[in-house]
Amino acid sequence: MESFATRANRIFAGTIEDYHLWDHVDHPISNPYAHGSFDALLYEKNWVDTVQWHLEDIIRNPRIDPAEALILKRRIDRSNQVRTDMVEYIDSYLLDKYKGVVPAPGARINTETPAWAVDRLSILALKIYHMGIEATRPDVEQGHRDACAGKLEVLLAQRVDLSESIDQLIEDIEAGRKWMKVYKQMKMYNDPSLNPVLYAKK
């Protein structure tokens, strides 16, 4: 049976491959999974991350028009909020899934929720994909390829470790050895009632 992390890694790899068929930040998502399914949620989460990855590349162009850069910065801000909302939605899904599990005496809380660990796994998938490209680029010196190949090995090892940790966390939650507690991020800078620069303008 496919583990939780293996499933996520498989979906993330497919999402990234799908995006790069067009390699354009405005290409519409075409989610292959059933609407409302957990797989569809993971696909959408990684698609948002993938688009934002490329927006972050674009905004660092030293020749970018300042007005265009500001528009992109606003778009990245909105994307960050969407990412946060999706992480919290994934955690809500898991909270509901395991609501019937009774924590064992002495059960502990984890330092981060499963969804925030999955968020890191999603970004790691992007790092691996793009570092793989750099490790095989034909238009650079061998030293560049060798350095990137070394970094790729580290990223692949990190994915193994993170995947194992996520699967262990899920197993612990299912067995009642750990219990989930979710705190909303409560980002203040996007909220016009909490950011003093925004509410001072009223």
Distance, in Å, from the CA atom of 76 to the CA atom of 82, rounded to the nearest integer, reads: 10
Q: What's the rounded Cα separation, in Å, for the pair 64 and 117?
A: 34
d(CA 178, CA 173): 5
6-57 pLDDT, tens digit per residue, is 999 999 999 999 999 999 999 999 999 999 999 999 999 999 999 999 999 9
Q: What is the value of pTM for the model shown?
A: 0.92
pLDDT in tens, 63-105: 999 999 999 999 999 999 999 999 999 999 999 999 999 999 9
Q: How many domains does the chain have?
A: 1
In the numeric block, the tokens 């405005």 are attached to 26
Reduce the DSSP state of residue 179 to 3 states and report it. strand
Domain span at residue 56 reads: 4-199
Helix (H, G, I), strand (E, B) or coil at 108: strand
Nearest to 128 by CA among 92, 95, 157, 169: 157
